[in-house]
Amino acid sequence: MQLQIKGIRKYFGDVKANDGISLTLQPGKIYGLLGENGAGKSTLMKVLSGYHKPDSGEITLGKEGVRFDSPAEALASGIGMIYQDPLDVPSMRILDNYLLGRDRKVLLDRAEALQELRQTARRVGFEVDPQAFIDTLTLGERQQLELLRLLAMGAEVLILDEPTTGISGEQKEELFDSIRKLATVEGKTVILVSHKLAEVQELCHHVFVLRKGKLVGEAEIPCLTEDLVRLMFEDVPPRTARVPHVRQEKALELQEVGIDGERLQVSGLSFDVQSGEVFGLAGLEGSGQRLLLQACAGLIHPSQGRIFLNGRDVTRFHFHRMRSQGVAYLPAGRLEEGLVAGLSLTEHIALATMDREFLIDWKRYVEETQRRIDRYQIVGQPETLVDELSGGNQQRALFALLRSPLQLMLLEHPTRGLDVRSADWIWQLLMQRVEDGAAILFMSADLDELIERSDRIAAFSGGRMSRIVQAQETTAEELGYLIGGER
């Protein structure tokens, strides 16, 4: 059934997130929706999926006009969306989360739901453990569960908002194979919201490009990547050159550190990160690199070994004490761990910077928030709620909350959800911190980013860390072998 979006407008105060956008989509096709952060991609899809109500415009399915007051109503009409941050309950099991989105009955048929879940998983080639808890899953596995739920509830139009951010290459290939089958075999309409041009070229049949809330172009795939870049940015963004690291004093040192996670044990971690160095961590999700970052941040304590910060033993320091020592931790879960839904940017700045003031000087914090909005190029106002920001702007907001000066930055997927220009801008800001002497320890699923941005890299596989390689001397192929456990 043909889907049409006609003249959609959605404003947030003075911000014109969508300014008269019209698209036509056919069944059996995979469409890419491109645009830099803040271009209006996610907002448009949230309008289509019933999460936002448009200020004007209409949506038609076939020849019938539709208007949704909630995502449930959109799904009842066959339109479902997988968000950047999955909508699930981490403290519950997979089967219970599946039931939450499936049935409103008082007495739930768990046996029927279990059978349905397994059948749908086999249909698209996913493996799921219905009794596993959500908070033990990787981001990619949680997105798979969302897709299974939408398919079981009859979705014919599937919207995937940055579905490959933070997942491994193997998980991406599984997802892409499933998407191709759903479109070409089952005749579903698939919309891929992304900033990754290579993935759009690989998967999609047709692409639409948004810029500043407007549709600025469209193209059949394949096409020249340079043409898509110019549509997104008007010009090709320059890339910054990596300055080689000069060996300095140790900022962070680990001696035979072991960490016990819920599903994984990490052992034998012995290495150092020097002041002014960028140290990258490669590996599949759940291989141990997140546990390492959390241990270095004081969020969890190692089961054995010692951790030193600038020569001081901080093994048993808790998170707030580590923060006072100049350690910053940016998690991958923006709204789950990094930001507080329902609070404004100004309120976040006040929480992050105030020193136990009895009376809050809101005027000062509004002015400081505006300075950080300008510095980090956040599309929003001081009074904007963080959950109203696009995913990329939420990521920028996380960086805007960082204190100065810093000794050590621990980053999970630092450019998650950012387009190429925004990612380059964030790394420019990070390198300014490095030039001031801060050390960076970061994990990323993007091997090219690891090689381009790091001085040294180590790979994790099943809780074990590989040998350390020089970024300028390694390749994505070598990292792939190390991630696979090859020595």
Q: How confident is the model at residue 150 (pLDDT cuts 50, 70, 90)?
A: confident
pLDDT in tens, 43-99: 899 999 999 999 999 999 888 889 898 988 999 899 999 887 777 887 888 888 888
- The CATH number of 239-326+404-487 is 3.40.50.300
- Give the residue among 386, 387, 353, 385 at the shortest CA–CA distance from 367: 353
Q: What is the CA radius of gyration of the chain?
A: 23
**pLDDT attached to residue 406:** 93
Tell me the percentage of the chain whose pLDDT exceeds 90: 42
240-249, 394-403, 412-421, 457-466: which has the minimum mean pLDDT? Answer: 240-249
**pLDDT attached to residue 317:** 96
For range 455-470, the mean pLDDT:
90
**pLDDT attached to residue 47:** 94
Asked if pLDDT for residue 299 goes beyond 90, the answer is yes
For range 455-472, the mean pLDDT:
90
Tell me the percentage of the chain whose pLDDT exceeds 70: 93
* Better-scored residue on pLDDT, 393 or 271: 271
Q: Would you call 48 helix, strand, or coil by DSSP?
A: helix
Q: Chain-wide mean pLDDT for the chain? A: 87
pLDDT in tens, 311-355: 999 999 999 999 999 999 999 888 878 899 899 999 999 988 866
For range 5-17, the mean pLDDT:
88
In this structure, are residues 202 and 223 in contact, taking their beta carbons and an 8 Å threshold? no
pLDDT in tens, 187-199: 999 999 987 788 8
Asked if pLDDT for residue 236 goes beyond 60, the answer is no
pLDDT in tens, 253-270: 999 999 998 778 898 999
Asked if pLDDT for residue 22 goes beyond 70, the answer is yes
pLDDT in tens, 102-136: 666 667 788 888 888 888 888 877 888 888 888 77
Q: What pTM was computed for the model?
A: 0.68
- The CATH number of 3-233 is 3.40.50.300
Residues of the chain with CATH 3.40.50.300: 3-233, 239-326+404-487
- Give the residue among 125, 128, 133 at the shortest CA–CA distance from 114: 128
- Give the residue among 277, 286, 303 at the shortest CA–CA distance from 453: 277
**pLDDT attached to residue 389:** 85
* Better-scored residue on pLDDT, 86 or 414: 414
* Better-scored residue on pLDDT, 241 or 18: 18
pLDDT in tens, 427-456: 988 998 998 889 999 998 888 889 999 999
**pLDDT attached to residue 477:** 82
